[in-house]
Amino acid sequence: MLKHVLRTLFILCTVMAITACSSDSNEALEAKTSLKLELKIIPENIQVKEYKNLTISFKELNSGFTITQELKNTNVLQVVLPSGTYNITAEGSIVYADNSSSIEAKVSGVQNGMVINGSETSKTLELALKSGNSSDLILEEIFFTGTKTPQGAMYFGDQYFKITNNTDKTLYADGMLLIQSSFMTNEKQDYSPNIMATTLSAGAIIRIPGNGTMYPVKAGESIIIAEDAINHKDFNPSSINLSNANFQIFKEDSDDIDNPAVPKMVNVFEKMVIHTQGYYAYALARMPQGMTHEALVAQNTYTYTYNLTINGDVYPMDGTAVKIPNEWITDAVNLSVQDSFQWQVTSPSLDMGWTSVTTFDGDKNRFGKAVRRKVTGKTMEGKNILKDTNNSTTDFEHGVKPSLFN
The 3-state secondary structure of 151-205 reads: CCCEECCCCEEEEEECCCCCEECCCCEEEEECCCCCCCCCCECCCCCCEEEEEEE
Beta carbons within 8 Å of 256's beta carbon, 6+ residues apart:
228, 250
pLDDT of 11 above 80? no
Q: Say which residues have a Cβ less than 8 Å from residue 316's Cβ, sequence separation at least 6.
A: 305, 307, 308
- The pLDDT of residue 362 is 86
Label residues 308-337 b or e (16+ Cβ within 10 Å = b). Answer: eeeeeeeeeeeeebbbbebebbbbbbbbbb
What confidence tens digit (pLDDT) does each residue in 64-86 have?
999 999 999 999 999 999 999 99
In this predicted structure, the answer to whether residue 238 has a pLDDT above a threshold of 90 is yes
Domain ranges of the chain: 33-129, 137-405
User: In the structure, what pLDDT confidence band is assigned to residue 9 with cuts at 50, 70 and 90?
Assistant: very low
Report, at the CATH architecture level, how domain 33-129 is classified: Sandwich (2.60)
Average pLDDT, stretch 255-273?
95
- What number is the average pLDDT over the span 372-399? 91
pLDDT at 45 over 90: no
pLDDT at 13 over 50: no
pTM attached to this predicted model: 0.81
Question: At CB < 8 A and 24+ separation, what contacts does 334-339 make?
Answer: 334/185, 334/281, 334/392, 335/142, 335/144, 335/185, 335/278, 335/279, 335/280, 335/281, 335/282, 335/371, 336/185, 336/186, 336/278, 336/279, 337/186, 337/277, 337/278, 337/279, 337/361, 337/363
